[in-house]
Amino acid sequence: MRRVITLAIVLFLNLILQSTVLQHIAIIGIVPNTALIIILSMALLRGSTEGAAVGLFAGLLQDLFFGSSIGYYAFLGLVTGYIAGKFNKGFYRENYLMPMLLTFLATFCYESSIFFTSVLFRGHLNYLYFLSHIILPEMVYNTVCTVVIYRILFSVNSATEEKEKFKRRLFSIK
């Protein structure tokens, strides 16, 4: 229960920051996709199931506040969280290289899928322009932001796990 409340707080804080503060630190019009970074970080820290759940709820929040339809970003977040959670096994949590590499690759796939499912159907066929002016800068920006966000989520996750372990030990019968 504590984990659900913590994740809800993280997602709502992300929504507030994404819609207010982060709009002012845009570089060449690109804002980091912190929801994607949170989805990937939680999937690496907690596994596929929780990664998919975080992706679903983060996507639903994006759909409700930023999207034109409900379910589009939720589905993308769910799939992204599930696939990223598969890299959870054998992963050394204190290593920042894996989250950065995964964020770099996932941003490419996430933004490319957005291009091919929404922009392409509107008749915009210039993928190379979209790649060079939106996807590549966002890949770099997200990768740099991953270091800070992953560290924060790693600390929050560690604190939550310690409290859960203590609670389980407190009520276990031996």
- If you search the block for the tokens 């796990």, which residue do you land on? 161
pLDDT tier at 171, thresholds 50, 70, 90: low
Q: The whole model's pTM is what?
A: 0.89
User: All domains of the chain, ordered by start, with CATH?
Assistant: 2-160 (1.10.1760)
146-160 pLDDT, tens digit each: 999 999 999 998 888
Mean pLDDT of 1-23: 88
Per-residue CA distances from 162 to 89, 158, 159, 165, 170 (Å): 20, 6, 5, 5, 12
Cα–Cα distance for residue pair 172/174, rounded to 1 Å: 6
Pick 121 or 64 by higher pLDDT. Answer: 64
Cα–Cα distance for residue pair 139/3, rounded to 1 Å: 29
Give the least confident one: 83-87, 148-152, 154-158, 167-171. Answer: 167-171
Mean pLDDT of 41-47: 93
Predicted pLDDT of residue 48: 93
